[in-house]
Amino acid sequence: MRPTIISRPIIKLVANFTKICSYGLYAIVPGIRFEIPSQSDPLIRQPPRNAEVGIPNIIWQTNYTNRVTLPVYLNYLFNRLMSPTFEYRFMVSKEREAFVRNNYSSDVLRAYERLQIGAAQADFWRLLVLQKYGGVYLDIDAHLLWPLHRIIKSDDSEMFLKIKTGEISNYFVASRPDNANIKDISRQVQLNIEMRASDNVYNLTGPGVFNSVLNDRSVNTGYYLDVCNQGNFTNEYFQYLDKPQGKWTKAQSSISVIRKD
């Protein structure tokens, strides 16, 4: 029996309970916020993995702000408890751009800067940061279902998340540095931007690119019901409380994904 058969419903129940309680809190104290740190050391120190063989013990996340509502912060705390041997690193929008500027060529930076929607920028950035440093990327509303050191084996060089449809999603991505598959997906994203291949974030920079590039390849995958879920601790309301334009799908309906040169 898979252990997440037991852990998954318990996590979902507790997470949804805290989310419901948060509505009451924010009705009384709407301005309360919590700060996510840009870097946090592992809660339990272990010898670092050999990045040439395995996936480094680093979790990466990003958001438009580091001052978040309680549900988002509880989601962050839960992931830290589920990954005690992992270092945590977080970047806001400006820091993402600085990372690309300092670590990649002018062509890559130019492509990144043409993206006008934060979600598309985050899509591209997660590939670039994993290609450079390796580790595990999680969306800000994603939460683990089992301790991360049990999910990722010491000799894994990558792990992609397979969802119910059988397709690969990108809200969880794990990789060692200089991974050929991540590099190819990143190059395809860059090409999509340069060629204005799509006006849809999903196909321009998101999961659509993962599925088109990896379609005929044998890659290591984990099933979303055993690895990582979304939206139990938090939701669109709590994630975008300080962002009037709301979720990326709303922004996409009002502005172009790619800036016109």
- pLDDT tens readout for residues 13-27: 999 999 999 999 999
Task: For Cα atoms 247, 202, 134, give the angle at the middle one, nearest 5 degrees.
Answer: 95
Residue pair 253/201 in contact (Cβ under 8 Å)? The answer is: no
Mean pLDDT of 75-79: 98
pLDDT the model gives residue 45: 83
pLDDT in tens, 14-67: 999 999 999 999 999 999 999 999 999 999 987 665 556 699 999 999 999 999
The average pLDDT across 115-131 equals 97
Task: Report pLDDT digits (tens) over 148-167.
Answer: 999 999 999 999 999 999 99
Q: Is the CB of residue 151 less than 8 Å from the CB of residue 227?
A: yes
Q: Which domains does the chain have, with CATH numbers?
A: 4-254 (3.90.550)
Whether the model clears a pTM of 0.85, i.e. scores above it, the answer is: yes
Contact (Cβ atoms closer than 8 angstroms) between residue 179 and residue 157 = yes
Instruction: Collect all residues with Cβ–Cβ distance below 8 Å to 219 and sequence separation of at least 6.
Output: 158, 160, 181
